[in-house]
A and B are shown apart, each in its own frame.
Chain A
Amino acid sequence: MTADDIQAVAPQAEDGRRVMLELRNVSHSFHARKESFEHGVHQVLDGVSLKLLEGETLGIIGRNGAGKTTMLRIMAGIFAPTSGKILRQPGASVSLLSLGLGFQPQLSGRDNALLSAMLQGFSKREAESRLEEIREFSELGQSFDEPVKTYSSGMNARLGFTTALLNKVDILLIDEVLSVGDAEFRQKAEEAMRDRLSGGRTAVFVSHAEGQVKKLCSRVVWIEEGAVRAEGDPERVLKQYRPPGPASEAISRRGNASNDRPR
């Protein structure tokens, strides 16, 4: 419940690279509504340890309900772990970008972009100075000044992605956002992300789209039932994640759907 378990101390460097964020034996459970679970306690993460190195793009894969979204929320400091520790590079800003959430539906895209930037700690003037760039990149045109509730999910994703990307945070946590929107914007977003990431920005990227994970991530972690199942080179981990045989096709098909329910 307290902020004591997030420590703004520099975690130890690994391979000569700065560690931006470290999870040490992090577990997370919560009391669900009584009627939903037999015992009322829902264990989401179970003893997860991992390090996020400066400048890397870490991919997180796992089936629906494996605990990926919760892990991102713990990394962003939105949830506290039930046990374990989180070490974060002092002064590093973190932003979590997830689909369908994060916007006030009755406000315009412009107002939402302004609010998002201000919530990330920018002054109103700084936030306002970025709005035109956000409007242009997101290709929302006149819709930028219309209420977000009138947006399609693709438009929502464009606004969310652009807002987070242009707001120059140190650690960008991306939950499933790049898998939506039209193909053209997706490509543009991927390129923009590669540009930013080559500029030393650190990102964690949750996706079901294996192609994107391969293209963008330098390292991949596979989460299964709240624990790390495999970690390392994207090719190798993705191969393990996708077992041989007819099941692989089904998983791959399911993996491409973007209906992962946050839990």
Chain B
Amino acid sequence: MNLTQYFSLIDTMARMSLKADASRYFFGYIWWVLEPLLYVLVFYVVFELILQNRKEDFLVFLMVGKLTFIWFSKSVNQAARSIVNSGGLISKANISKSLFPMAMVQEGLYKQLSVFLLLFVVLLFNGYPITTAWFWLIPLILVNYIVIVASCLVCAFLVCLVFDFIVMVSLGTIFLLFVSGIFWDPRDLPDPAATDLILLLNPLAFVIDAYRQILMVGVAPDAWHLLGIGAGFGLLALGMVLLLRRASRFLALKVLTA
């Protein structure tokens, strides 16, 4: 299978899955934006209405954080099960097992494009202007995508190796939800050193903060930091693709005899 075929397959699998998914629900494709919005609503009710959050323009702040975090968390949780759930296709031919998590990543990407569109409309309606900093969205979204690809491949591999890891995946994404500054701002911490530490140690916190800096403040993110995250996760993703290819028949045995 050459590279064109590989990407064509990922694209076809993702589109088919989206189509099958949409036909299952009464609201079909509307759920692509409705579900993330409902998540935002839940957080808004808890933090703004019940806990009386004092942050200025909290709804927009929350939307930027939550709508970008959901892209990561949903992709990872779905991709984690993707190899173990594909016994049917795996029993047919010796195919690279990275196809399955990659198809999930692609599916998430197609959904996210409409979510981004919604987010931009919300920002414009709330008086946030389009600035030159918005150009930084291109590398930022690319790095965000690479982080998702690498994480999905790692989780899908580990879950295939030991199914129990699936518990860690859902727990891990909840942990990241709390420590990545979705409903709180790392920049509001009293100690600036703590802010720096969080943005340095947690790539997701940096990415989400970068979205807010670009979209809400009009400031470009730290280019070297962004490049570092992109390169690190890019290498990890590449290594995982090679590992999944090399372990292909071992993983098939795991899936089909589990």
B248–A3 contact, CB under 8 A?
yes
Q: How far is the CA of A106 from the CA of B19 in the complex (A)?
A: 10
Of B1, B17, B88, B94, which one neighbours A78 at CB under 8 angstroms?
B94
| Contact between B20 and A118, CB atoms less than 8 A apart | no
Residues of B whose CB lies within 8 Å of any CB of A are: 1, 4-5, 8-9, 12-13, 16-17, 19-21, 24, 87-95, 246-250, 252-253, 256-258
For residue B87, give the distance in angstroms from its CB to the closest CB of chain A.
Answer: 7
**B92, A30: Cβ atoms under 8 Å?**
no
Complex-state Cα separation, A115 to B14, whole angstroms: 11
- Contact of A102 with B249 in the complex, beta carbons under 8 Å: no
Interface of A is mostly: loop
Choose the segment among A55-63, A93-101, A188-196 that binds chain B (4+ C-beta atoms closer than 8 Å): A93-101
Query: If the complex has contacts A101-B87, A114-B12, are A78 and B93 also in contact, measured as CB distance less than 8 A?
Result: yes
Cα-based distance from A83 to B247 in the complex (angstroms): 16
B-binding segment of A14-22, A120-128, A206-214, A233-241? A120-128
Taking the closest CB of chain B, its distance from the CB of A225, in whole angstroms, is 18
Chain A residues in 8 Å Cβ range of B94 = 76-78
Does A147 reach chain B (CB closer than 8 Å)? Answer: yes
A80 touches B250 (CB 8 A): yes
**Count: A-B pairs, CB below 8 Å:** 95
Task: Take A1-B246, A2-B246 as given contacts and tell me if A96 and B91 are in contact as well, using a CB distance cutoff of 8 Å.
Answer: yes
Is the pair A121, B20 in contact by a Cβ cutoff of 8 Å? no
Does A165 belong to the interface (CB within 8 Å)?
no
The 7 sampled A-B contact pairs (Cβ below 8 Å) are A1-B250, A78-B93, A78-B94, A80-B250, A104-B88, A106-B20, A111-B20
Q: Which residues of A contact B (CB under 8 A)?
A: 1-3, 30, 32-33, 73, 76-80, 94-96, 98, 101-104, 106-107, 111, 114-116, 118-121, 123-124, 147, 262-263
| Docked-complex contact B20 and A107, CB < 8 angstroms | yes
Given A118-B12, A121-B5, also A79-B253 (CB < 8 A): yes
Asked if residues B16 and A111 are in contact (CB atoms below 8 Å), the reply is: yes
B248: min CB distance to chain A, Å: 7
Q: Is B249 within 8 A of A123, CB to CB?
A: no
Distance in angstroms from A174 CB to nearest chain B CB is: 12
Contacts A2-B246, A106-B24, A121-B1 given; does A115 touch B12 at CB 8 Å: yes
Please measure, in the bound complex, the distance between the C-alpha atom of A17 and the C-alpha atom of B196, giving whole angstroms. 71
Q: Which of B20, B87, B246 has the most CB of A within 10 A?
A: B20
Cα(A118)–Cα(B8), bound, Å: 9
Q: Give Cα A89–Cα B88 distance, bound, in whole angstroms.
A: 26
Chain A residues with Cβ below 8 Å from B92 are 76, 78, 95-96, 98, 101-102, 116, 119
Q: Shortest CB–CB separation between residue A161 and chain B, in angstroms?
A: 13
Quote the shortest CB–CB distance from A124 to chain B (angstroms).
Answer: 5
Assuming the contacts A78-B93, A78-B94, asked whether A147 and B20 have C-beta atoms less than 8 A apart, the reply is yes
How distant is the Cα of A260 from the Cα of B4 in the complex, in angstroms? 38
Smallest CB separation, B105 vs chain A (Å)? 18
Please give the distance in Å from A27's CB to the nearest CB on chain B. 14
Are A124 and B88 touching (Cβ within 8 A)?
A: no
* Closest A-B pairs by Cβ, 8 of them: A77-B94, A1-B250, A80-B249, A106-B20, A102-B92, A101-B91, A111-B16, A101-B88
Task: Specify which of B17, B246, B247, B253 is in contact with A30 (CB 8 Å cutoff).
Answer: B253
Kindly list chain B residues whose C-beta atoms are within 8 Å of the C-beta of A106.
17, 20-21, 24
A118–B92 CA distance with the chains assembled, in angstroms = 12
Q: Which residues of B contact A73 (CB under 8 A)?
A: 91, 252, 256
Given A79-B253, A96-B92, A111-B19: 17 more A-B contacts, CB < 8 Å: A1-B246, A1-B249, A1-B250, A33-B258, A77-B93, A77-B94, A78-B93, A95-B93, A101-B88, A102-B91, A103-B88, A106-B17, A114-B12, A115-B13, A119-B92, A123-B8, A147-B20
Report whether A104 and B89 are in contact in the complex, using a CB–CB cutoff of 8 Å. Answer: yes
Residues on B with beta carbons closer than 8 Å to the beta carbon of A102: 88-89, 91-92
- For B24, the chain A residues whose CB sits under 8 A away are 106
Q: Is the CB of A98 within 8 A of B248?
A: no
- Is the Cβ of A96 less than 8 Å from the Cβ of B93? yes
Q: Check A124/B12 contact, CB under 8 A, given A78-B91, A95-B93.
A: yes
Closest chain A residue to B252 by CB distance?
A78
In angstroms, Cα B91 to Cα A163, docked, is 15
Are A120 and B93 in touch, CB under 8 angstroms?
yes
Q: Nearest Cβ in chain A — how far from B256, in angstroms?
A: 8
Q: Judging by beta carbons under 8 Å apart, are A119 and B9 in contact?
A: yes
A33 smallest CB distance to B (angstroms):
8
**Given the complex of chains A and B, what is the CA–CA distance between A78 and B247 in angstroms?**
11
CA distance A147 to B8 in the complex (A): 22
Q: With A and B bound together, what is the CA distance between A121 and B249 in angstroms?
A: 18
